Amino acid sequence: MLIVHVHVHVNPESVAAFIEATIENAQNSIREPGIARFDVMQQRDDPTRFVLVEVYRDEKATEAHRQTAHYVKWREAVASMMSEPRTRETFSNLFPEDKEW
Amino acid sequence: MLIVHVHVHVNPESVAAFIEATIENAQNSIREPGIARFDVMQQRDDPTRFVLVEVYRDEKATEAHRQTAHYVKWREAVASMMSEPRTRETFSNLFPEDKEW
C-alpha cells in the first residue's frame, strides 16, 4: 500500500469549518476503489493540528483521487483555513500485509 | 478512539532487526482487546524512519499494552537500535466514527 500522512495546521477560527469539510471529503474518498482507508484525526494537545492518514492501493489511486470533484472541492475550501502550508510524508505498510487493508 | 503515532528513527544497520521485532510486536498487540489497529509503516524516502499508528479504544488500553510481555520485549529489543529517542503524538478520531474501527 502507499500510505500518505498529510499534516495540516489550521487557524483557530477555522477548526470547525475545516472538520466539516474534511469529514465530507473523507466520506467520499473512502468510496474510491483505490482507497482502503481515509482516516482523519485531531491532535489532542493542539486541536488546530490534524493528520489525514490516506491508504492507497497504488500510485494510480493517488492520481485518481486528485482528480475527483470532492478532492478539488476540499482543496479549495480549506486553502484559506491553514495557518501554514500542509506537509506530507509517504510510507509503505509493513504490518498488516496488503490483503488485510 | 485514542490514536498514538510513534515516530522512530533507526540506525541504518538495525533496520532489518527493527522490522522483525516490530512486526512481531504488532502481531501480538492487535490481539489485545483494547487495540483496534496497530499499523507499522516505513517512510518511502528514508527507510530508517518508521511510524507506528496505534489505535486504542481508551486510555486504559494504552496502560494494559505497556504491561504486556510482547511490549516489554519489543521496548528492550529496539532500545539500542534507535538513532534518536522516539517521539509520540496523540490524536482523537474524527473519521471514521468509533464503531467503524
What pLDDT, in 10s, does the model give residues A24-60? 999 999 999 999 999 999 999 999 999 999 999 999 9
- pLDDT score for A27: 98
Q: What percentage of chain A has pLDDT greater than the value 70?
A: 100
Average pLDDT value for residue range B45-50: 98
The answer to whether the CB atoms of B95 and A27 lie below 8 A apart is: yes
Tell me, letter by letter, the H, E, C secondary structure of chain A: CEEEEEEEEECHHHHHHHHHHHHHHHHHHCCCCCEEEEEEEEECCCCCEEEEEEEECCHHHHHHHHCCHHHHHHHHHHHHHECCCCEEEEEEEEECCHHHC
The answer to whether the CB atoms of B40 and A93 lie below 8 A apart is: yes
CA distance A65 to A71: 7
CB distance from A36 to chain B under 8 Å?
A: no
Chain A neighbors of B43, CB-CB under 8 A: 89-91
Per the prediction, chain A carries an average pLDDT of 98
Grade residue B26 by pLDDT with cuts at 50, 70 and 90: very high
Asked whether the whole model's pTM tops 0.90, one would answer: yes
Average pLDDT value for residue range B78-93: 97
Q: What percentage of chain B has pLDDT greater than the value 90?
A: 100
Q: For the domain bounded by A2-91, which CATH number is listed?
A: 3.30.70.100
- pLDDT score for B56: 98
Average pLDDT value for residue range A80-90: 97
The answer to whether the CB atoms of B42 and A91 lie below 8 A apart is: yes
